Amino acid sequence: MTRLLYAMSCFTSRKMLFLMLFIFPSVLPLYLSADRNDRPVIGVLAQEVYAPKPNQTAYIAASYVKFLEAAGARVVPVMINQTLEEYKSLFNSINGILYPGGGVSIISSGYERAAKIFYELAIEANKKGDYFPVWGTCLGFEQLTYLTSGKLSLSHTNTSGVALPLNFTEDVKGSRMFKGFPAELMAALASEPLTENSHQWSLATLTYNTNEELKNFYKVLSKNTDGNTEFVSTFEAYDYPIYGTQWHPEKNAFEWTRPYIPHSPSAVKTTFYMAEFFVSEARRSFHRFKSVEEENKALIYNYNPVYTGAKSAFEQIYLF
Ligand SMILES: *[C@@H]1O[C@H](CO)[C@@H](O)[C@H](O)[C@H]1NC(C)=O
Ligand SMILES: *[C@@H]1O[C@H](CO)[C@@H](O)[C@H](O)[C@H]1NC(C)=O
Ligand SMILES: *[C@@H]1O[C@H](CO)[C@@H](O)[C@H](O)[C@H]1NC(C)=O
Ligand SMILES: *[C@@H]1O[C@H](CO)[C@@H](O)[C@H](O)[C@H]1NC(C)=O
């Protein structure tokens, strides 16, 4: 009950709440069933740094944080190497999780271990009607293919540092992910190079077509090719709020160090419509921290990003 009340108070005045509770108690459950969490908190998974230093062993690129914040979410970093109990407690406190791109192992790393735990908790929760969305970008997309199929099913492609238009499939029409996109942005995405690719590994269409686990789990929304190998570039799960892009929606608005990152008005809109979609998914989750103090302690606001644009692919990163 307190959980529902907390969420409800997000957009209902106290007086209104009082009226509903004490004067119309019978309407309450009905009203709440159509509820929405307007204070979503989303976890962004950290990963090992390539060359660790004392107190600098893991990082999150700040663009993922800005991506979610721009659409009305707050962010908590999900640290690697935590205990299962700590992850379970965090899972029950946040409203979704994003697996960022990067360069660590998807079969044995702190990133992989945490991603697997949250993936399994999300599947279990969603089965019970406890909505919890998961998003994978680039490495996160690749991680999802491994978690769903239990095997490495990626092919080498020549796609490190290139912007591409999306080759949408027929299924994009009934998709959840692109439902809110304006028609002119969809047309731009299909014809202009608005999606930035920075990966050497891809889920080949041929592999997807012959892998029952992946085929039954994910609906392919777009494909791309490097000229030799056609690969899946966007998917959403049929029965779960699990989403992946092999490309980087967050970079268009927030990363400037590489010449192939598009910044046109349509490119920047792509960043915001994608963020809007995922944050709206998180608003359907009612997990919450046990107290405001606990929430405050967990938020990314407790950390300061550092400027790394001069020597890295990211303008700013959080180091932990
Ligand atoms: C690492 O962080 C701890 C706690 O924040 C601090 O006490 C310690 O001095 C730091 N060590 C280094 C080498 O910066
Ligand atoms: C995580 O654990 C591994 C293995 O114990 C260790 O090498 C690494 O430094 C740890 N990283 C962080 C960020 O705690
Ligand atoms: C890789 O793709 C780039 C264009 O993005 C092209 O210039 C280059 O020749 C390709 N390399 C190979 C080995 O195909
Ligand atoms: C887009 O996908 C269709 C169907 O798979 C394929 O026939 C077409 O060649 C693709 N177009 C591009 C530009 O890759």
Cβ 147 vs Cβ 119: under 8 Å? yes
Closest CA to ligand 3's atom 1: 158
Please tell me the distance from the alpha carbon of residue 122 to that of residue 236, in angstroms, as a whole number.
15
CA 311 to centroid of ligand 4, rounded, Å: 37
Q: Counting Cβ atoms within 10 Å, is residue 119 exposed (0-12), middle (13-18) or buried (19+)?
A: buried
Which helix or strand (DSSP H or E) is residue 125 part of? helix 110-127
Listed residue (78, 95, 96, 71) closest to 253, CA to CA: 71
Is residue 10 annotated as a catalytic residue, yes or no? no
Instruction: Output the tens digit of pLDDT for each of the chain's 320 residues.
Output: 334 333 333 333 444 444 444 444 444 443 334 589 999 999 999 999 999 999 999 999 999 999 999 999 999 999 999 999 999 999 999 999 999 999 999 999 999 999 999 999 999 999 999 999 999 999 999 999 999 999 999 999 999 999 999 999 999 999 999 999 999 999 999 999 999 999 999 999 999 999 999 999 999 999 999 999 999 999 999 999 999 999 999 999 999 999 999 999 999 999 999 999 999 999 999 999 999 999 999 999 999 999 999 999 999 999 99
Does residue 239 lie within any of the structural domains? yes
Does residue 178 lie within any of the structural domains? yes
Closest CA to ligand 4's atom 2: 167
Structure tokens at 71: 């659409």
Task: Determine if ligand 2 sits within 6 Å of the CB of residue 80.
Answer: yes
- Cβ-Cβ contacts under 8 Å for 165 (sequence gap 6 or more): 189, 190, 191, 192, 193, 194, 195
CATH of the domain at 70: 3.40.50.880
Please tell me the distance from the alpha carbon of residue 27 to that of residue 32, in angstroms, as a whole number.
9
Q: How many domains does the chain have?
A: 1
Does residue 37 lie within any of the structural domains? no
Q: DSSP state, 311? A: T
CA 55 to centroid of ligand 1, rounded, Å: 6
Is residue 199 annotated as a catalytic residue, yes or no? no
Does residue 7 lie within any of the structural domains? no
Range of the domain at 221: 44-319
Does residue 1 lie within any of the structural domains? no
Does residue 10 lie within any of the structural domains? no
Does residue 304 lie within any of the structural domains? yes
Closest CA to ligand 1's atom 10: 55
Taking the CA of residue 162 as reference, the ligand 3 atom at the shortest distance is 5
Does residue 238 lie within any of the structural domains? yes
Whole-structure pTM value: 0.89
Catalytic residue among 138, 156, 263, 287: 138
